[in-house]
Amino acid sequence: MTDSDLQETLLSKEVIQEGIITRMEHWTVRLPNGDTAIREVSCHPGAAAVVALDPEDRVILVRQMRVAVGRITLEIPAGKFDHPGEDPLECAKRELSEETGMKADSWRKLTVLETTPGFCNERIHIFLASGLHSGSRHPDPDEFVDTLRMPLDEACAHVMDGSFHDGKTCLGLLMAQCLRASQTQND
């Protein structure tokens, strides 16, 4: 089967609901067999996330309540774009500063995560930050967070034992660990 055997063609879009963060749309598509179907798509502005590593190989994690899943989570710092077309690196720098009070001298893009492509177009740009130094924390007025540092190996063990559930956090931590391991082998 080729890609063209799977391709859906967008015919139209209809906004169903405007939200604070996302917009729900119905997309009418032509299927490979010529029929049409409706795809319900949650449109998201995009986001950036940061695996911030200190010189002791500890990652900075953010503790916060996530009411959608009904619990307090441990995640890498992250946040949505403030405006369409915002530079992902600038967003990552802002979120690291807001949530942790930290700034970084060195930045490396790890990947772009498509969080749930079955119904949402959200893309989170994940960065690795090092050369950390303190600044002042300034979370958004509706953002209540706490930070902690955890050895990267321990954080990755929590990914592997299923304790961490957040996709961007799991992917970012494992990518940082793989990158660190490959750098160690090359030294």
Q: Which run of H or E residues covers position 58?
A: strand 58-66
pTM of the predicted model, to two decimals?
A: 0.93
Q: pLDDT tens-digit profile of 93-126?
A: 999 999 999 999 999 999 999 999 999 999 999 9
- Domain spans of the chain, in order of start: 3-43, 47-112+123-186
pLDDT per residue, tens digit, the chain (187 aa), is 899 899 999 999 999 999 999 999 999 999 999 999 999 999 999 999 999 999 999 999 999 999 999 999 999 999 999 988 999 999 999 999 999 999 999 999 999 999 999 999 999 999 999 999 987 777 677 778 889 999 999 999 999 999 999 999 999 999 999 998 887 777 6
Name the 3-class secondary structure at 60.
Answer: strand
CATH number of 47-112+123-186: 3.90.79.10
Q: What is the pLDDT of residue 187?
A: 64
Helix 167-186, helix 152-160: angle, nearest 10: 130
**Could you tell me the two tokens for 118?**
């079955």
Helix%, strand%, coil% for the chain, nearest 5 = 25, 45, 30
- Cα separation, 187 vs 179, whole angstroms: 13
39 to 9, 15, 30, 161, 164: CA distances (angstroms): 11, 12, 10, 35, 30
Q: What is the pLDDT of residue 186?
A: 74
| Token pair 């802002």 in the structure block, residue | 94
113 to 52, 135, 172, 184: CA distances (angstroms): 17, 28, 9, 26
Q: What is the pLDDT of residue 141?
A: 78
